[in-house]
Amino acid sequence: MVSPTSVSISDEHNRVPVQNDENTYTVNRDASVTLDSTKAFEGPEKLLEVWFAPDRYHLPPSMARDGLKSVPREMWEDMLRLVHCKVLSFIGTAEMDAYLLSESSMFVFPHKLILKTCGTTTLLAGLPRLLDIARTQTGYPAGMEPWRVFYSRKNFMFPDQQKHPHRSWKDEVKYLDAHFSNGSAYMVGRMNSDHHWYLYSAKRDATSSVNADSSVVNSVIADGRFEDETLEIIMTGLDQKKAAQFYNDRTVPETASDSSNSSAVSEDLDPGHVGGAEITNKCGLANLYPFSRIDSFSFSPCGYSANGVTDATHNYFTVHVTPEPGCSYASFESNVPSSVAGINSLDVVSYVVGIFGPSQFSVTMFETRATKNSFVNACTKGLPPSEIPGYTRVDRIVYELDEYDLVFLAFEKTEA
């Protein structure tokens, strides 16, 4: 867990973090203490990954040594305003910068950016600004497309409430195709089920002269050195007894100054971050990857978000919860490999599902073929994994996408 003694409190105009062996942690107090989630409703997130290279060691020669991590934080905040979300807090390590947002999370690495936002945020509206920042602030070659792009989401619960360009999957694909020349769109899972999943992927066209350095980075793949895996669990119909731990009864002040004399605010952290830390320990997430630092937030009157990072590697995990009956939702995403976690992917799924008790959930495992993961190997060979206790697997779909394998599984709670 993040220690309160390593925290620097900041306001809208002063965000100078404490330095601690390349690790930093900063809280945006103004945004944190006045955030009211009473009207939040759409849990399912939009997820965008933009890769400019396969790793930090194969950035284009013209790009800054630290790549995207060299971009000032204020520029990312400017991009996030287009998406309609704010930064609540920030953990910086040598390998990545993890932003906890008012609507989910963002992770910035030297070679890629991951942005995950829920509600009616307009995530793709920030894409042009993201690409512009990469080119003007880091030296990414003008005219060169990103190395890889992935955009995905579950089907929305309230699609009619979304804003352009997220009103339909067709609109999203059209928007993405306008920015990338080599994209493909997929719908995974049953259309007449609550758990189907959309994926858009694009890769740099190696035949283009402006993209000539692709031969260099592609050698990383050919040599079997490119390893990447992401596990995502999407849960709906949460057990309301388990969901109760993600509620709180605190009152949100109208302005940050209104809370300055409140006994509920600790010396170092606002109530949202204090409550988030308490929930992290109480619900058991702190025990999943005990080697990680966790930045978490408890929303008012309900809801929860957490980012976990490891200091010495590029591994992270993120959790987001909207517990309201009728639209309850939780998501878990992690790129922590089994070799680092000391626990296999199936056990991770069982552990996380046990925290929330959903009536149904889906699992996606997205990994390169150079990655050795027994969970994916079992699925790609047609051997189903052991059933999750209390659940029945109702769907298993396997895709081969360039150098990646994608496994999609759907489960429903077994009737007593």
Which positions are catalytic? 42, 45, 104, 118, 305, 320
Structural contact between residues 29 and 9, judged by C-beta atoms closer than 8 angstroms? yes
Query: Helix, strand, coil: what percent of the chain each, to 5?
Result: 30, 30, 40
C-alpha to C-alpha distances, 91 to 45, 114, 256, 267, 335, nearest whole angstrom:
21, 15, 22, 19, 17
Q: What angle do CA 76, 97, 216 make, to 5 degrees?
A: 90
Buried b (16+ CB within 10 A) or exposed e, 48-77: bbbbbbbbbebbbeebeeebbbebebeebb
For the chain, the distance separating the N- and C-terminal CA atoms, rounded to the nearest angstrom, is: 38
Token pair 């790549």 in the structure block, residue? 67
From CA 200, how far away is CA 181, in angstroms rounded?
A: 12
From CA 183, how far away is CA 204, in angstroms rounded?
A: 9
Q: How many residues does the chain have?
A: 416
Cis, peptide link before residue 301, omega less than 30° from 0: yes
Structural contact between residues 393 and 411, judged by C-beta atoms closer than 8 angstroms? yes
Buried b (16+ CB within 10 A) or exposed e, 206-245: eeeeebebbeebbebeeeeebbbbbbbbbbbbbeeebbeb
Q: Are strands 404-413 and 360-368 parallel, antiparallel or unpaired?
A: antiparallel
Structural contact between residues 374 and 407, judged by C-beta atoms closer than 8 angstroms? no
